[in-house]
Structure 1
C-alpha cells in the first residue's frame, strides 16, 4: 500500500546512507530529511551535557565526565544523520555508538577499583575493538555488522551492571529502570522496522496530522534509549561514588529529571 505522504526531495538531496528509516522524508521542512527522528535527539544532547558539567563541578573522575560527553557525541551525530540522510553523517551517528559504549564498559568495569588504578590492558583492548569495528564497517558497509557489534557491547554492559549490583544493591531500582527504559526503546525500534508500511498508512489515512508524530517509533527509540542510557551514566557514577565512600543519591530535579546528588568524602 502506497503512503499518502511520499518521500520528497529536500535541501540535502538524494539520500546516500545505507539506511533510510520509516519516517517520510522532507515532509515537515525541506531542510530536515526526517524531522521527528532528528529533533528527538535532544534527549541525547541536553541531559548528558548538563550531567557531564555537574560531574566536573562535583570532582568526579574523568571517566564519568567522558560518559556524558560520549552520549552527547552520539546525539549530535544522530541529529546530523537523520537531518541529512548522507552516508558520511550515518558514520557520524553509528561509529560513536561503538566508542560511547566502550567508554561505558570501561567505566562500569572499574567501579570498584582504587582511584588511580587505570587498566591499560583494557583500554588497549577497547581501543583495538573500536578501531577494528571502524575499519571493517568502512569496508563492508553492512548495518547488520554494526548492529551486531553494538549489541555485543550492550549485553556486556548488562553483565557489568549485574556485577555492580552485587557490590551495591542500592543501585538496583535505577539500574532496573535504565534497563527497562532501554528495552522499551529496542522494542519500538523493532516494531518500526517490521511494520513500517502499516505505520505509514496509519499516519496518512487514520491519524490526524497533529497526532501522526506519535507513530514515529524511531523517534521514540531515541527518547527511550536516550533516557535509558542517561540513567545508565547516573547508575555507573552512583556505584563508583558509593565505592569511594562519598555520600550520594539519585534525586529528582523538579520531580522530573534524575540527577546524582554527590556530597563530600566521608
Structure 2
C-alpha cells in the first residue's frame, strides 16, 4: 500500500490501518484527504435519487436496496477519508462486502418469478457477510478484505454473464459498467505502486490541475462508483425485461444515464 503520511490534524492522529497516497490535511484543514473525500459524491447523490425513483416506480425492494448499498459505501468512504479513523475505515470497507452481496442477490434473481426466493443462496450470502466481518475484526489485514471483495466481484461478473445470455439487449450497459470499473481498478493500482512518483510530481509543480489529475484514488472512486451505478442499472434492466415492463436507458440532461421505467401493466 501507499507509504504512511500520518499527519495529525483536525481529526487527531490517524488510527486506520491504511493511509492513501493523497497528502493529509494539505487542501483543507478539516478534511484529512480532501480529494479522496469529495470524490465520493458520485456514490452518494446518484444512487439516492435512483432509489427514490425506483421506489416511485414500484421496483422490487432489492433494487432499491442495491442503490442504498452504494450510497452506504459512499458515506462510509467519505467518513473514512475525511477522518482516517479505524472505525470509519470499517464503515467504508464492510459495506463494500455487504453491498456486493445485495448486488449478487438482485442479479441472481433477475429471471425469477415474482416473490420467489432462493433461500440457500440468501443463507450463503449472509454467512459470507458474517464470516468476513468476524475474521476481519480479528485479523485487521486490509489484504484479507481486498481479496474477499475481489472474490465477490468475480462471482458478480459470473452472474452478469448469465444475465447477458438471457437478454443481449443489456450488453452495452454491462460492458460500460465493466470497463469503467476496470479502469478505476487500474488507477487504484497505479496510485499504490507509483505513489512516491506521484507525490514527487505534485511537490515539484505548482500546477493545481496536475495535483488534481494525480489524485488517482479519488479517480478510482469516480470511475468505480460510476461503474457500480451502471451495474445496478444493468441488473434492474434485466429484471424489468423479464417482467416485460416498459423500460429504456435514457439520459438526464443528455448527460447522466438512467433507466426510464413505464408504469406497471
Scaled by the length of structure 2, the TM-score of the pair is 0.96
On the 8 A contact 1:22/1:193 being kept in 2, the answer is yes
1:240 lines up with 2:239 in the alignment? yes
Equivalent residue number for residue 106 of structure 2: 107
Post-superposition shift, 1:9?
Answer: 2.9
C-alpha distance after superposition, 1:13-42 (max 9, x if no partner): 111100000000000112110000000000
- 2:29 & 2:105 partners in 1: Cα distance? 41
1:226 lines up with 2:225 in the alignment? yes
Scaled by the length of structure 1, the TM-score of the pair is 0.96
Residues matched between the structures, number: 262
SS of residue matched to 2:23? coil
- 1:149 & 1:210 partners in 2: Cα distance? 35
Post-superposition shift, 1:264?
Answer: 3.0
Post-superposition shift, 1:123?
Answer: 1.2
Q: Can you give the 5+ residue segments of structure 1 that lack an aligned partner in the other structure?
A: 1-5
1:216 lines up with 2:215 in the alignment? yes
Equivalent residue number for residue 166 of structure 2: 167
- 1:130 & 1:185 partners in 2: Cα distance? 24
Post-superposition shift, 1:206?
Answer: 3.2
Equivalent residue number for residue 191 of structure 2: 192
Once superposed, which parts of structure 1, at least 4 consecutive aligned residues long, lie more than 2 Å away? 6-9
Equivalent residue number for residue 3 of structure 1: none
SS of residue matched to 2:162? helix
The root-mean-square deviation of aligned C-alpha atoms, in Å, is 1.3
On the 8 A contact 2:110/2:163 being kept in 1, the answer is yes
Further displaced range: 45-54 or 6-15: 6-15
Post-superposition shift, 1:125?
Answer: 1.0
- 1:205 & 1:33 partners in 2: Cα distance? 21
Q: Can you give the 5+ residue segments of structure 2 that lack an aligned partner in the other structure?
A: none
1:203 lines up with 2:192 in the alignment? no
- 1:107 & 1:192 partners in 2: Cα distance? 32
Equivalent residue number for residue 14 of structure 2: 15
